[in-house]
Amino acid sequence: MAKSNLRLVPPDPELRTVTLRRRSNRNMGRDREHLTELEVDRLMKAARGNRHGQRDATMILIGFRHGLRVSELCDLQWASIAFETGSMHVRRAKGGEAATHPILGDELRALRELKRQSASPFVFASERGGPFTPSGFAKLLARAGEEAGMGFKVHPHMLRHACGYALANKGIDTRTLQRPTSAIARSTRPRAMPRWRPVGSRTFGGGGSRSVARLLVSRSHSGATSDTLLPDRPTRAATVPQPRRPDQKSLQAEATTCRALGP
């Protein structure tokens, strides 16, 4: 028996599962994707009025000073912070290099106050003791922007952009901002060691047996021995094994063979 409450309808031409294109900054009411230092201070002042004001304001401060992504900020743990040395180990997301950042005085005071109030292994924890979620921090920052009278919607990645603009205004070059550990990586990189080998040897490459014969003939007039070693192009000692030095008899036998073969 046919059901009378069903009828054929045309398919919906709009694909609602497809993500819509991001609106431009002008359509969202902002002309830039970063914050100034004064605007960050206004956000922190507005966040201190929340129920967990110390946590919220410190979260904004650490995210701005160290240019952290929202996932890196939420995953930060107390084990990564050394109060004795005033440093913080940052594990970067998206394949970034981990680094150790110095902590300034106002950050240390805010973190110590937060440490006395927290019993969670995470620096920025929720009321249940778990890590603060990125979506929760985005909502927190949007509410703080409204209370501070920003006039546009604030999102967490603007703190990372604000850190880059603040460092650039202080004279830090772009390469250092992109990779702050590049100087350390260059200084700790192992130096290349020179490799020594006979020139033109069939065993170690070069010009072959004829080059050995020409080498013996040219050095017989100058009084140099045939197995004199010359420096080769520098290579890494860790990756290139050291060759075995041939004896005098093998080189003389190789030269005799070349004379017999002729030019």
Q: Where residue 133 sits, what CATH number does that domain have?
A: 1.10.443.10
Give yes or no: residues 156 and 228 share one domain. no
Give yes or no: residues 60 and 147 share one domain. yes
Which amino acid, one-letter code, is at 145?
A: G
Please count the CA atoms within 13 angstroms of the CA of 263 that sit on its side-chain side: 0
pLDDT number for residue 136: 93
Give yes or no: residues 109 and 220 share one domain. no
pLDDT number for residue 228: 42
pLDDT number for residue 128: 87
pLDDT number for residue 22: 67
Give yes or no: residues 164 and 56 share one domain. yes
pLDDT number for residue 98: 86
Give yes or no: residues 157 and 51 share one domain. yes
pLDDT number for residue 245: 64
Which residues form the domain of 131? 37-179
The string of pLDDT tens digits covering residues 93-145 is 888 788 889 999 999 999 999 999 888 999 999 988 889 999 999 999 999 99
Does a structural domain hold residue 26? no
Residue (of 202, 61, 86) closest to 144 by Cα position: 61
pLDDT number for residue 189: 41
Give yes or no: residues 222 and 151 share one domain. no
Give yes or no: residues 161 and 81 share one domain. yes
Does a structural domain hold residue 189? no
Give yes or no: residues 66 and 165 share one domain. yes
Please count the CA atoms within 13 angstroms of the CA of 51 that sit on its side-chain side: 3
Give yes or no: residues 224 and 103 share one domain. no
Q: Are 249 and 237 in contact (CB under 8 A)?
A: no
167 burial (CB, 10 Å; 0-12 / 13-18 / 19+) is middle
Is 0.75 topped by the overall pTM? no
pLDDT number for residue 213: 43
pLDDT number for residue 168: 87
CA angle 255, 259, 261 (to 5 degrees): 115
pLDDT number for residue 208: 47
Does a structural domain hold residue 24? no
DSSP state of 77: B
Give yes or no: residues 204 and 78 share one domain. no
Cα distances from 69 to residues 74, 140, 151, 194, 231, in angstroms, run: 9, 15, 23, 44, 50
Which amino acid, one-letter code, is at 76?
A: L
Give yes or no: residues 62 and 135 share one domain. yes
Give yes or no: residues 147 and 212 share one domain. no
Please list the ranges in the chain whose pLDDT falls under 50.
180-238
Tally the domains of the chain: 2
pLDDT number for residue 32: 82
